[in-house]
């Protein structure tokens, strides 16, 4: 048997709860009304009987009854009887048992097969005529004493199914409206599953909405936006990584085929298969294979580092570190490289600029930025590394007077695998061929992963990074970190 939907169950629960409340309220009102009606009926019974008693007197041993006595008033019958039950005057209601005994000053309920009555007796006693009873009788049936209440009850019972249907309809509409966002969520999820795309959205409410389900739908949309963004980044990352790996693999295969072909051609020339071969091309091929394999190894290492950073696997191992000292050490590591490129590398650092950081990651920041500055520098140029501290925090600035970047390129340099397109300047055109070749080779081997990694490390330390650059005038990277107190 198929279970009812949540909407149907809620609607039924709402309708039955509403019906139960109506029944309970109706029963309470009926019980309270019945008690009040009975109390009022008994009060009328005693009042009418007492008035009739006032109209009955015994004068000189003779029973005297006023002519204006009411034998029937407000539904109460009044009769006068002797002690043996003989009716003297008045009229008993139909169905009243004649054998009912007398009890003075006490209201009783007398039941018959088809009827029930309230009886109230008052006694007049005289030595001559004996006992005379004034009896008041009224119906005890609700339909007789309060026909309007019976009509109301009948109307209530007739209206009850209608009220139930109204409650059902109202509950259904209410739950349908309340669960509409949930239905949209289910439909959207189903479309995403069937179409295999992530561009479907619910489009209801916002995260600050007071409606919990609409707020859930809005958060679901935000989650799908993030998932789609991450999926597109992952897809782009995979495409770029595949493209970057294809080039060195192609070179390695080509150079390997060249070596194998050379070995095959010289196999019969002696015991040494390479005897008689020109060593220079073979050496160049081996160097190229080594260079490309080294580049692939570096690429894989950087891809792994970025993937781990994306998944927050690498936790920063912070310790209080002198940033000025790290800057000087980085400049020392790149001093020979700068000389080879004919670029002057200078450090202007204040002493003891302490920061709570991971020194391994911070060394990577300095290495990447200095390496980029030298790659895109120009012969006879300079790179200045500045470190100082003020109220805003610790500033790290790396400036050069190299080829620079166009304004439209600046937002893209933080994207993975994006590489700067070198700008040809008169100064670079007049540079020695060896330096030009070295710069072009470095720019060609750049994989476009350094700056994205630098940005991640800086932001992971609570800092910020910005860049200013102009074509032909150079670039400047400005890093700002929060200050930490030195250890005593």
What are the structure tokens assigned to 327, written together?
């800057």
pLDDT at residue 398 greater than cutoff 80: yes
Say which range, 59-68, 124-133, 138-147, has the weakest mean pLDDT: 138-147
pLDDT at 443: 45
* Region 436-451 average pLDDT: 53
For residue range 161-178, what is the model confidence (pLDDT) as tens digits?
887 788 778 777 877 777
Triad 157, 158, 162: Cα angle to 5°: 110
Cβ contacts of 468 within 8 Å, gap of 6 or more = 475, 476, 478
Delimit the domains of the chain by residue range: 1-178, 187-314, 315-481
* Region 463-472 average pLDDT: 89
pLDDT at 433: 38
pLDDT at 126: 83
Are residues 370 and 398 in contact, defined by beta-carbon separation less than 8 angstroms?
Answer: yes
pLDDT at 192: 82
pLDDT at 125: 86
pLDDT at 351: 84
Q: Domain spanning 187-314: which CATH class is it, in words? A: mainly alpha
For residue range 147-166, what is the model confidence (pLDDT) as tens digits?
766 677 777 778 778 877 88
pLDDT at 119: 94
What are the structure tokens assigned to 136, written together?
């008041």
* Region 19-44 average pLDDT: 81
CA distances from 295 to 190, 245, 301, 439 (A): 45, 9, 10, 16
For residue range 32-76, what is the model confidence (pLDDT) as tens digits?
777 888 888 889 989 999 998 888 888 877 888 888 888 898 889
4 versus 335: the higher-pLDDT residue is 335
Predicted structure pTM score: 0.44
Banded model confidence at residue 275, pLDDT cuts 50, 70, 90: low
* Region 483-488 average pLDDT: 53
Q: Report the chain's mean pLDDT, rounded to a whole number.
A: 78
For residue range 234-255, what is the model confidence (pLDDT) as tens digits?
766 666 666 666 667 777 777 7
End-to-end CA distance of the chain: give it in Å, rounded.
Answer: 75
pLDDT at residue 378 greater than cutoff 80: yes
Q: Do 187-314 and 315-481 have matching folds?
A: no
Distance CA 321, CA 308 (A): 24
**Among residues of the chain, what percentage have pLDDT more than 90?**
12
Cβ contacts of 34 within 8 Å, gap of 6 or more = 142, 149
308 versus 330: the higher-pLDDT residue is 330
- The CATH code of domain 315-481 reads 3.30.565.10
- The CATH code of domain 1-178 reads 3.30.450
The full 3-state SS of 139-187, as one line of letters, equals: ECCHHHHCHHHHHHHHHHHHHHHHHHHHHHHHHHHHHHHHCHHHHHHHH
């Amino acid at each position: 048997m198929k279970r009812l939907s949540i909407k149907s169950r809620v609607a039924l629960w709402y309708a039955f709860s509403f019906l139960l409340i109506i029944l309970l309220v109706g029963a309470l009102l009926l019980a309270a009304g019945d008690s009040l009606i009975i109390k009022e009926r008994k009060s009328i019974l005693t009042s009418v009987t007492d008035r009739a008693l006032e109209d009955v007197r015994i004068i000189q041993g003779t029973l005297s009854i006023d002519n204006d006595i009411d034998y029937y008033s407000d539904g109460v019958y009044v009769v006068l009887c002797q002690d043996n039950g003989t009716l003297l005057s008045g009229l008993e209601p139909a169905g009243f048992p004649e054998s009912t005994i007398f009890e003075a000053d006490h209201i009783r309920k007398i039941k018959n097969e088809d009827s029930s009555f309230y009886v109230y007796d008052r006694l007049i006693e005289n030595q001559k005529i004996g006992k005379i009873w004034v009896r008041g009788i009224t119906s005890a049936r609700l339909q007789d004493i309060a026909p309007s209440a019976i009509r109301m009850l009948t109307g209530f019972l007739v209206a009850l199914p209608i009220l139930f249907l109204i409650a059902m309809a109202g509950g259904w509409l209410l739950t349908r409206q309340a669960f509409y966002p949930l239905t949209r969520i289910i439909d959207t999820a189903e479309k995403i599953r069937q179409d295999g795309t992530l561009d479907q959205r619910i489009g209801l409410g916002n995260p600050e909405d007071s409606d919990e389900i609409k707020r859930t739908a809005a958060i679901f949309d935000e989650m799908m936006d993030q998932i789609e963004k991450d999926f597109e980044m992952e897809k782009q990352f995979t495409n770029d990584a595949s493209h970057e790996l294809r080039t060195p693999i192609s070179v390695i295969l080509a150079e390997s085929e060249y070596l194998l072909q050379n070995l095959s051609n010289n196999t019969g020339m002696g015991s040494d298969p390479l005897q008689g071969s020109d060593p220079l091309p073979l050496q160049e091929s081996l160097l190229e294979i080594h260079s490309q394999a080294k580049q692939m190894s570096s690429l894989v290492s950087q891809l792994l580092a970025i993937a781990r950073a994306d998944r927050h696997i690498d936790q920063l191992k912070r310790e209080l570190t002198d940033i000025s000292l790290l800057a000087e050490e980085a400049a020392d590591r790149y001093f020979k490289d700068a000389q080879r490129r004919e670029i002057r590398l200078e450090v202007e650092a204040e002493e003891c600029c302490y920061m709570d950081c991971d020194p391994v990651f911070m060394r990577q920041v300095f290495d990447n930025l200095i390496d980029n500055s030298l790659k895109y520098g120009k012969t006879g140029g300079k790179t200045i590394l500045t470190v100082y501290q003020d109220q805003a925090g610790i500033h790290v600035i790396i400036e050069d007077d190299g080829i620079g970047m166009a304004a439209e390129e600046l937002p893209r340099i933080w994207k993975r695998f994006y590489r700067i397109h070198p700008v040809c300047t008169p100064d670079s055109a007049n540079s020695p061929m060896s330096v030009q070749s070295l710069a072009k080779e470095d720019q060609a081997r750049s994989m476009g992963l350094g700056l994205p990694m630098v940005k991640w490390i800086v932001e992971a330390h609570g800092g910020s990074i910005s860049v200013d650059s102009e074509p032909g005038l150079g670039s400047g990277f400005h890093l700002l970190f929060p200050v930490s107190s030195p250890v005593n």
